[in-house]
Chain A
Amino acid sequence: MPTSGFPAGTEGFPAVTEEGKGSHAGHTPGRRPVGTATEAALAWSGDPLLTSKVSVPVLPGTCVPRQRLLDRLSGGVNGPLTLVSGPAGAGKTTLAVSWAHLTTPPGPVAWLTLDTDDNAPGVFWSYVLEAFRRALPSLPATIGTPTSPDSIGRSLLVRLASAVEHLPHPVVLVLDDMAKAPGREVSKGLGFLLEHAGPQLRLVLIGRVDPRLPLHRYRAEGRLTEIRGADLTFTPDEAATLLRQHDPATTDSTVGTLTSRTEGWAAGLRLCALAMRKSGDPDGFARSFAASEHAVADYLLAEVLEVQPAATRKLLLRTSILDQVHPELANALTGRQDAEEILARLVREGAFVEPVADTRWCRFRPLFAKVLQAHLRSRRPGLAPRLHGRAARWLADAGRPAEALGHATAAGDWSYGAAEAVRNLMVGSLLAGPDEDRLPALFSRMPDDTPGVEPALVAGACRLAGRDLEGCRERLTAAERFMNSGSTPLGPEAGLTHALLKLLCESYGPESGATPGAAAEAMARNAGHMTARVAGGRTEEHPELTALRLHGLACALLRSGRLDDARRAFTDAVEACADDATHLVLHASFGKLALTESAVGALTAAEDHAVRSLTVADRHGMPPARRSGAGHLALAALSFERDDPRTARHHLERAMASPDAHDDPVMVAESAVLRSRLELTQGRWEAALTALGDPGQPPMTWPAERLAVARSHAVLAHGDHEAAVAALHGGDGDGPALTVALAHAHLAAGRIDRARRLLAHADRSHRSSLVDHVRIRLLRARIAMLGDDPRAAHAPLAQALDAARPEQLRRPFTEAGPWLRHLLERADGEDTSRLSRSWLSTRCPDGPRTPAFVEPLSGREREVLACVARMLSTNEIADELHLSVNTVKTHLRSVYRKLCVSRRREAVELGKELHLL
């Protein structure tokens, strides 16, 4: 029953959301390989263990209500920030839990218990968002979700802060064990949220170390309430209450002795209570404890552990390798059948473990797992890896493959771990997101010579994800060797993984071993067959596999110049990206689709898809290393075709910052071609040639063809028509673009008949694009002009203009030369309406075009930009707009980000260009 129907003031909402039972009732664990922190953050699984992370924990059975602290906390939560800090076992969490249950918080409580895996910003913030969503079902869904563990976009925090700011009531966010997420990025984001979410946000941070926030400033401003270790220590009265919960007969002197020896440490007192009861002589225990010179935790733990029955001791030691204990898993580790009762008793005693609400799982209290691990190592050296191995198998059988992987790799059992990863089809999520960093991290220590098909496949996938194509190919070869020699039959999952990796590796790769489209199609078909062989509709739960297959095929088709087929395949790939688990491939497919479209002259569609590609990356806060430059490259290409070199240059620069601009053959070629053409606009034909690199004699695949055409243009600009012809005879390519360029070169050499024949040939080609079509018409017009027949030139010119207008394709006209201007001027008087050439010279004839950035500027941002344009300083802007200097800076930063600029001047220039000023 989630808290629905809030805001009803402070009445009528349960402070504890009851674990969202309703919304996740249908979930059967194990349907998908979910269950790790990372994965769940990205596509919420409804796993009860994870649900417990983002819900207020249950009130412990043995809990001393400490009114003085509850009051302090209530007071703190009236302000923006409360810090509860103290050593492990000081009772920090218990205090916050009992506060949430026993008092009336000023608003719904969003709770997040952090684990060690949660220090990646993306993971951290997706948990925070989930915690908020559970406490505030009305929170707008448009805030988005980070999908990359490594980073999140600032815009996501802005959206979250603004959503919280506009709440009609306060919300309390409790972050338990902040020390587990110590990253600078996380702290920075938290500081940002605190500054910008307004007075409705009440943050409670619980931890053993101070968070990286400017606490001194908050303290000076009176915005911080601190409850520190010294405040948390038990007073003798509180200690007496606690000890008497366990043994009502505890004398005052015993209470006094134990309180002073433990210095009021909550966990210590609780252990004392246990040890006392077991020893049967409370006063004797207290005396011997007080006289002992041993460290408190160490002494008590040893004491408590020693008096436990052998079965309990065994269970505690052996399960210490787990984050969370399940009775059956504990049985698997101890080889006994009594874990259920033992755990139930331990939970009742409340010292070692606490229950995870609504599940059979328990969690160790923070202090003890580490101590127990130490005892395990010293008593049974070498046992831990075997236990990890056993835990891995139990978890895999229980349908928690992601956790199983963690234990398999901790055991160093690479073969088993890799086999699990492959069997559960986890490799796709490594390449398509959202699991892109988890697998490589787990398998980073796997030795290269680990035998077996699956280890080779996993290693290959990790390398492909890191864009190490050479390494991937090498591992795939190793996998094939094992496949051919293997006696054990290979599962369909391994076959599918192999087929997919092979296809992607070949499709992204450099020219060597070029895959013509047909071979890629065969590979993609093969991967499709393999998919069909994976039983039980499991592939339906992995849309990323289909998306990756189509993407790989499309890349290969694009490389072999089958642009229409590539366009269809990219569109299919985009459609196959059904959920958030495919954001990487969605981003790349949109980008490449845009690139394909810009190459054939479908500029409007290209712009659309490029912007979508960038939006996907932005919404998921994709880190730069994972971004594809295809979207920016497409924007650069289409801006250039629309005769806007400035914007083209800007986007080209952005594209070059991405890794794939330097190793994807299509993108390498396209960016070189564009750079060369940009140089030509400045009349630098030598630089234009240099940009294209060494011609060499590669097979005439599509990228090589594009380079050859650009090269012939560059030398033609210099007037060297023989070299222009020679540049086009590099191979056996016969694409229409090549033929048109050849016609152009021959025309420049004065061989009109030859040019005319070539043009007729190109015009008949079914592969000719809009750009080719327009160029053919323009060359025909040119031929007519050379034949001194301006009237005959009008018809092809009119056709060219008509064809180019819908896409605002201006560049071919600009590049045609001065004769065209004369012709257009002369044509003006005769048939203006027919030629309707005004769009050629006027920018933005249909009103301001949607500028090619991701988000529009807000009203405030426009105002700030306008002030910048008036040359006002930051301080002056702050005065003028009645804002603080910091707010102005924040607005400026977001203007820079949205316009993709780094300086004031660039922002103003681009602002003017985009009609924002």
Chain B
Amino acid sequence: MRYEFRVTGRVSTPLADTFPELDRASVPRQTLFFGTVTDEAHLYGLLARFQDLGLHVEEMRRLPD
């Protein structure tokens, strides 16, 4: 399953590096994280990690494989 997460604001490298399994791209006022999510445990783990780092997930969607 591939997912995309849209996080508010630009995320600095040290924080982005805590998601080594995700690629990232910057768009105006947002940072996109995307990549393969193994299963739901992984998905919820990622969301918890965003939250732990004070990052705000505005939108999340599944990408076509």
Task: Give 23 A-B contacts (CB < 8 Å), ordered by A residue.
Answer: A87-B56, A88-B51, A292-B10, A293-B9, A293-B28, A293-B29, A294-B10, A294-B12, A295-B9, A295-B54, A296-B9, A297-B54, A298-B10, A367-B52, A367-B53, A370-B18, A370-B53, A371-B54, A374-B14, A374-B17, A374-B18, A377-B17, A378-B13
Query: Contacts of B32 on A, CB cut-off 8 Å?
Result: none
Residue of A nearest to B13 (CB): A378
Q: Whole-angstrom distance from the CB of B6 to the nearest CB of chain A?
A: 12
Q: How far is the CB of B8 from chain A (nearest CB, A)?
A: 6
A383 CB → nearest B CB, Å: 14
Please determine whether A371 and B15 come into contact, CB atoms closer than 8 angstroms: yes
Q: From residue 69 to 116 of chain A, which have CB atoms closer than 8 A to chain B?
A: 87-89
By CB atoms of chain A within 10 A, which of B28, B54, B55 has the most?
Answer: B54
A257-273 vs B, Cβ < 8 Å mask (1 yes, 0 no)? 00000000001000000
B10 contacts which of A293, A371, A377, A379 (Cβ < 8 Å)?
Answer: A293
* Neighbour of A298 across the interface among B51, B52, B54, CB < 8 A: B54
- B10: chain A residues at CB < 8 Å are 292-295, 298
Residues of B within 8 A of A302 (CB): 12
Q: Are the C-beta atoms of A294 and B11 separated by less than 8 Å?
A: yes
Instruction: Say yes or no: B54 contacts A299, CB within 8 Å.
Output: no
By the criterion CB–CB under 8 Å, are A295 and B8 in contact?
yes
Question: In the complex the two chains form, is B17's CB within 8 Å of A378's CB?
Answer: yes
Q: In the complex the two chains form, is A295's CB within 8 Å of B56's CB? A: yes
Q: Which residue of A293, A298, A379 contacts B55 across the interface (Cβ within 8 Å)?
A: A298
State whether the Cβ of A375 lies closer than 8 Å to any Cβ in chain B.
Answer: yes
List B contacts of A293 (CB < 8 A).
9-10, 28-29
Closest A residue, CB atoms, query B31: A295
- Among A89, A292, A378, A379, which residue has its beta carbon within 8 angstroms of that of B54? A89
Write the nearest CB–CB distance from A589 to chain B, whole angstroms.
41
Contact of B9 among A267, A299, A375 (CB under 8 A): A299
Instruction: In the A-B complex, list the 5 residue pairs whose CB atoms are closest, starting with the nearest.
Output: A297-B54, A295-B9, A378-B14, A370-B52, A374-B18
Interface string of A361-377 (1 = CB under 8 A from B): 00000010011001101
In the complex formed, the residue of A with least CB distance to B47 is A209
A208 within 8 A of B: yes
A263 to B7, CA, bound (A): 15
1/0 per residue B6-46: CB within 8 Å of A? 01111111110110000000001101000000000000000
A295 to B7, CA, bound (A): 8
Residues of A within 8 A of B (CB): 87-89, 208, 267, 292-299, 301-302, 367, 370-371, 374-375, 377-379
Contacts of A292 in B (CB 8 A): 9-10
CB–CB B9/A294 < 8 A: yes
Residues of chain B within 8 A of A301, CB atoms compared: 54
* Chain B interface extent, by class: 20 to 34
Other than A296-B9, A297-B54, A371-B15, give 14 A-B pairs with Cβ distance below 8 A. Answer: A88-B52, A294-B9, A294-B11, A295-B7, A295-B8, A295-B10, A298-B53, A374-B14, A374-B15, A374-B53, A375-B14, A377-B17, A378-B13, A378-B17
Cα–Cα distance between A302 and B18 once the two chains are bound (Å): 15
A89 to B55, CA, bound (A): 12
Contact, CB under 8 Å: B9 / A88? no
Query: What CA separation (Å) do A389 and B17 show in the bound complex?
Result: 24
Complex CA distance for A370 and B19, rounded to whole angstroms: 13
Nearest residue, chain B, Cβ from A89: B54
Report chain A residues within 8 Å CB of B15: 295, 298, 371, 374
Q: Please, how many angstroms separate the alpha-carbon atoms of A302 and B54 in the complex? A: 13
Q: Are A296 and B17 in contact (CB under 8 A)?
A: no
Q: Which residue of B lies closest to A296 (CB)?
A: B9
* Whole-angstrom CA separation of A186 from B55 in the bound complex: 28
**Across-interface contacts of A299 in B (CB, < 8 A):** 9
Q: Which residue of B lies closest to A378 (CB)?
A: B14
- Contacting pair B54 A296 (CB below 8 A): yes
Partner of B11, one of A87, A89, A295, A379: A295
User: Which B residues are CB-close (under 8 A) to A377?
Assistant: 14, 17-18
Rounded to whole angstroms, the CA-CA distance of A379 and B56 in the bound complex is 24
Bound-state CA distance A371–B54 (Å) is: 8
**Chain B proximity of A222: nearest CB distance (Å):** 30
When distances are taken between beta carbons in the complex, the residues of chain B under 8 Å from A296 are 8-9, 54, 56
Residues of the A chain whose Cβ atoms lie less than 8 Å from the Cβ of B18: 370, 374, 377
Q: Which of B9, B11, B49, B53 has the most CB of A within 10 A?
A: B53
Closest to A299 in B: B9
- Contact yes or no, A371 B29, CB < 8 A: no
Give the residue among B7, B10, B15 with the most A Cβ atoms within 10 A. B15
A349 CB to nearest chain B CB (Å): 18
Give A292 to B28 CA distance when docked, in angstroms. 11
Q: Complex Cα distance A145/B24, Å?
A: 49
Q: Closest Cβ of chain B: how far from A624's Cβ, in Å?
A: 26
Once bound together, how far apart are the Cα atoms of A90 and B54, in whole Å?
A: 10
A298/B28 in contact, CB under 8 A:
no
- Flag if B14 contacts A208 (CB, 8 Å): no
Nearest CB in chain A: distance from B56 CB, A: 7
Q: Which residue of A lies closest to B9 (CB)?
A: A295
Contact present for A88 and B11 (CB under 8 Å): no
Q: How far is the CA of A296 from the CA of B9 in the complex (A)?
A: 7
Alpha-carbon distance A197/B18, docked complex (angstroms) = 44
Cβ contact within 8 Å between A208 and B51: yes
Minimum CB–CB distance from B38 to chain A (whole Å) comes to: 20
Asked whether, in the complex, the Cβ of A379 is within 8 Å of the Cβ of B14, the reply is: yes
Please indicate the chain B residues that have their CB under 8 angstroms from the CB of A267 in the complex. 54
Whether the Cβ atoms of A298 and B12 lie closer than 8 Å is yes
Q: What is the distance, in angstroms, from B64's C-beta to the closest C-beta of chain A?
A: 27
Closest beta carbon of chain A to B57's beta carbon, Å: 11
Give A169 to B46 CA distance when docked, in angstroms.
44
CB distance from B44 to the nearest CB of A (A): 10
Interface centre among A208, A301, A302, A370 (most CB of B within 10 A): A370
Complex contact B29–A297 (CB within 8 A)? no
Residue in contact with A88 in the complex, picked from B17, B29, B54, CB distance below 8 Å? B54
A297 vs B7: C-alpha distance in the bound complex, in angstroms? 12
Q: How far is the CA of A692 from the CA of B51 in the complex (A)?
A: 60
- Let me know if B14 and A367 touch, CB within 8 A: no
In this complex, the member of A208, A294, A299, A377 whose beta carbon has the largest number of chain B beta carbons within 10 angstroms is: A294
Q: A370-B52, A370-B53, A371-B53 are in contact. Are A298 and B9 (CB under 8 A)?
A: yes
Chain A residues with Cβ below 8 Å from B55 are 295, 297-298
A333 to B31, CA, bound (A): 34
Closest-CB distance, B24 to chain A (whole angstroms): 12
Chain A's closest residue to B27 (CB) is A293
Chain B residues closer than 8 Å to A378, beta-carbon distance? 13-14, 17
Q: How far is the CB of B5 from chain A (nearest CB, A)?
A: 12
Return chain A residues, CB-CB under 8 Å to B12: 294, 298, 302
Report the bound CA distance from A378 to B16 in whole Å: 10
List of B residues within 8 angstroms of A88 by Cβ: 51-52, 54
Inter-chain CA distance A16–B31, complex, in Å, is 44
* Bound CA–CA A773/B29 (angstroms): 91
CB distance from A635 to the nearest CB of B (A): 43
Complex CA gap A374/B18 in Å reads 6
